[in-house]
Amino acid sequence: MAKSEDQRILVWCNSTENIQQTIFDAAIFALTLRKGLCFFANYTSKKEEAIFKERINSFASTTKEDIPQMEVSTLILEGKLHNMMKELGEKYNAIMLCSGGKFGGKLLKAFYRSGFPFFFSRKSSSLNNRLRNILIPIDFRNSTKDSVLWGSYLGRFNQSEITLLCAKDNDGELYQKVAGIKQSAEKLYRQFSFKYRFQNGKVGSWKIHNEAVRDSSKYDLLIFTGSLNTTLPDQIIGPFEKRMVNKCKDTPVLVINPQLEMFMVCCTDNRD
């Protein structure tokens, strides 16, 4: 496992959509978790390489001037994004990839091969209280614990307040699974000193993420776990995680891939 100081928050610079807000939010994550901030691009031609290299160097230089206490680096790799996800995690110690646009095809294909979450920034009229109030939908899936864990990082180190929106399942088995996730979340969160609360949702596990998206404008960040399998609706109207992220017009989203084992965030300091 990489040392805490070696882990990186990546800003994907192939797209410049909402890039300033993305850099700002990525820097908050990096400072909060005490990780390096890395401006990253991938290319498939020499022309792209030259353009992206100049771009990431410019972003890195400006950021170093603005935040001299933060470790800032650049990384440019040849190839398609989805083919380098394992390398980014294992060799370059990435723990998050940040982008400012929609959850498009290139990012989605890469996401399914990623052991670290993808963050999508959104434009904000204010730079105050970023990532302070966080919403996490709780459904019956055991993989929801990954979202709960990421909430604990931000609660511990950013003093974020976490709202856990719990699905209202009438089915006895699903009800017990949601109750188990709630119990696990409380056991974890009670170890630390940040604020959290459980809120009863109005719908069951299959629709709780839609409710979270509708309520997300009240929060600074939505965290949720993606799908384990592609369902028939996914094939007809698009993948679940893509739909949920792109519906969030104003609220940033952190989405976690449950199909691979998640790279762990190293937290070795004494801030608790």
CATH code for the domain in which residue 113 is found: 3.40.50.620
When pLDDT is averaged across residues 80-96 and rounded to a whole number, the result is 96
Q: Is the pLDDT of residue 170 over 80?
A: yes
Looking at the structure, tell me whether residues 160 and 231 fall in a common domain: yes
Q: Is residue 126 part of a domain?
A: no
Q: Is residue 269 part of a domain?
A: no
When pLDDT is averaged across residues 94-103 and rounded to a whole number, the result is 96
Q: What residue numbers bound the domain in which 12 lies?
A: 4-120
How does pLDDT run across 126-168, given as a tens digit for each residue? Answer: 555 678 999 999 999 999 999 999 999 999 999 999 999 999 9
Distances (CA, A) of 96 to 89, 92, 120: 9, 11, 11
Q: Specify the length of the chain in residues.
A: 272
- What pLDDT is attached to residue 263? 72
Q: Is the pLDDT of residue 268 over 60?
A: no
Rg value, the chain, Cα: 18
Which residues, including other chains, have CB under 8 Å from residue 213's CB and lie 6 or more apart? 222, 244, 247, 248
Q: Is the pLDDT of residue 125 over 80?
A: no
